[in-house]
Every structure is written in C-alpha cells, then in structure tokens.
Amino acid sequence: MWPDLFKIRADSVVLAPGATDRHLVFENNDRPGIMTARGVERLIMVMQFYQAKKWLWLQP
C-alpha cells in the first residue's frame, strides 16, 4: 500500500522538525536576491524555479 515507507526499529529516535535559518548580518542583507539557504531550496524544489547565472554561498 505504501511502498515508500520503511519500518525502523531503534532504542531511541530524536525528531527535530523545528529548524530555522540563521540570517547572516551584513550591510544591505535585505536587498532583492539575497536569501537564506532554505529560501533557495524552496524556490528550486517546491516552486521549480531556477534562474541564476552566478551564485555566492556564504556559511557562518
């Protein structure tokens, strides 16, 4: 019925679904085109939007 489901047996399981993006603080970080990694993922995976010639990835 559900071929993509798995049965997992473990002594303990930790679920942490409340992750939030940390915004980098720098001058002009609120300008158009500057977004968090989760925002980029949402554009590409959910909205199927990909239009960029150059990318700059910053990680704290």
Give 34-57 pLDDT, tens digit per residue: 888 777 778 777 777 777 677 666
Give the type of residue at 37. Answer: A
Alpha-carbon distance of 60 to 48, in angstroms, equals 27
Residue 11 or 15, more confident: 11
Q: Is 12 a residue whose pLDDT tops 80? A: yes
Alpha-carbon distance of 3 to 51, in angstroms, equals 34
For residue 32, the number of C-alpha atoms closer than 13 Å in the C-beta half-sphere is: 0
Q: Among all chains, which residue has been given the structure tokens 């968090």?
A: 36
- Is residue 42 within 8 A of residue 36, CB to CB? The reply is no
Give the type of residue at 11. Answer: D
Across 7-22, average pLDDT: 77
For residue 2, what pLDDT is reported? Answer: 62
Predicted structure pTM score: 0.42
For residue 60, what pLDDT is reported? Answer: 56
